[in-house]
Structure 1
Amino acid sequence: MKTRILYIENHPVFAASAQDVFLSDCEITVAPDMASVLAALESQRFDLALVDFDLDDCKGDEVTRVIRERFPQLKIIAASSHAQGNAKIQKAGADAVCGKMEFSKIREIIEQVLERPI
């Protein structure tokens, strides 16, 4: 069964590239803002969320707090290009961090968070 990932990212080119290069065998739903994040979480089931910091209408730490409050079982990985943004997302409740500059390690981090191979 494919790992279902909600990729909370507002840069469509990076999201598509990350999916093609690192996560091609996963089922990815991209959400660039809070409304699309909530719509996706209410209509689908995900194994985890990858959260960028700079989004269209808010910051990743705000999204993380909302997810933790409404969907506490969902695993979250901070995935910003900025260390400060990742630190804020982690403080808000992320389970792990994989900065964009280290995205080649995303699969092993996902496997650690889910405690199973993807």
Structure 2
Amino acid sequence: MSSILIVDDDAATQVRLAGLVREALDEAPASVRTAADLGQARALLEAERFDLALVDMQLPDGNGIELIGWIQSHAPQVQSVIVSAYAEEQLTFTALRAGAIGYLMKDRDDVELVVALRSLQRGGARSTR
């Protein structure tokens, strides 16, 4: 994975996830970009090629599941993972049905998230619930 998009409206979470991605991947990604809402994310996805999108469930202009559905239609080469503070089983299934390959919980410690990201890199779907 050489190009990662982090979609989250919280700047501190963006920085945290970017650091965890860099730690988790065997080789540092060429690019880690961030977007704070659906509009910014779509614009970046149309302009650049990404391998992975880490998408927050709740965004100011919609929800991450909407974006994952959009990615499936407009940028199907991008693997999507929901990153959320909510551990609702129904949301997990909805995200997976929309095309997400995994579901990460923001409230987990950094070590656990790094392990989950490494699993995703190796091709495994992962949930940190």
Mark the runs of 5 or more structure 2 residues left unpaired by the alignment.
23-27, 124-129
Where do residues 6-45 of structure 1 align in structure 2 (5 Å cutoff)?
6-20=5-19, 22-24=20-22, 25-26=28-29, 27-45=31-49
> Is the CA contact 2:56–2:84 (under 8 Å) kept in the aligned structure 1?
yes
Q: Give the TM-score taking structure 2 as reference length.
A: 0.75
The structure with more strand, counted as a fraction of residues: 2
Instruction: Give how far 1:86 is off.
Output: 5.0
Cross-structure match for 1:95? 101
> Is the CA contact 2:5–2:35 (under 8 Å) kept in the aligned structure 1?
yes
CA-atom RMSD in angstroms: 2.2
> Is the CA contact 1:79–1:86 (under 8 Å) kept in the aligned structure 2?
no
Equivalent in 47, 66, 69 of residue 65 of structure 1:
69
**Which whole-Å CA distance do the structure 2 matches of 1:40 and 1:34 have between them?**
10
Matched, 1:54 2:52: no
**Greater Cα offset, 24-33 or 40-49:** 24-33
Figure out how many residues of one structure are paired with residues of the other and give that number: 114
Work out the percentage of aligned pairs sharing the same amino acid. 25
SS in 2 for 1:110: helix
**Greater Cα offset, 78-87 or 39-48:** 78-87
**Which whole-Å CA distance do the structure 2 matches of 1:77 and 1:41 have between them?**
15
